[in-house]
Amino acid sequence: MKILIIEDSNEKYMALSRVLKRIGVKDPLWVTNLQDGLNLIVEEEDKSEPFDFVITDMNYPPAAGAPSDYRSGKKLAEAILEQGLSPKVVLCSSQRYDIPGVHSCVWYSKFGDWEGDLRRIITAR
């Protein structure tokens, strides 16, 4: 299974990566901004090696060196939908959202079982 994580927090990336490794996902790719993420998604589609899932936060920089934008996750889902790209988008954020093009949402909170939710989503495909 091929997964891309778009997240600007190293701590959250490491937490997501640990959960994925426990279910057999080896070496998920990681970028920290929207532009690099979209470029990588398109590159892999062009090589006929698409991602199965993109796990994304909502708030991260639109490009390297730019300030965070709370709409980046929404823009990612919209771009994937508009361009007909194949990965399923899993939004992993501290708030719950209902966004067109998002396959599933994981409420990233110490008050819920976000790890179990993520495992269920990824293993169900």
Q: Is domain 3-124 annotated with CATH 3.40.50.2300?
A: yes
pLDDT above 90 (res 100): no
Give the list of residues 6+ apart from residue 105 with CB closer than 8 angstroms, or none.
90, 91, 92, 93, 96, 97, 98
pTM: 0.94
**What does the alpha-carbon distance between residue 58 and residue 89 come to, in Å, rounded to a whole number?**
11
Residue range 33-79, pLDDT digits in tens: 999 999 999 999 999 999 999 999 999 999 999 999 999 999 999 99
- Report the chain's mean pLDDT, rounded to a whole number: 94
Q: What is the pLDDT of residue 94?
A: 87
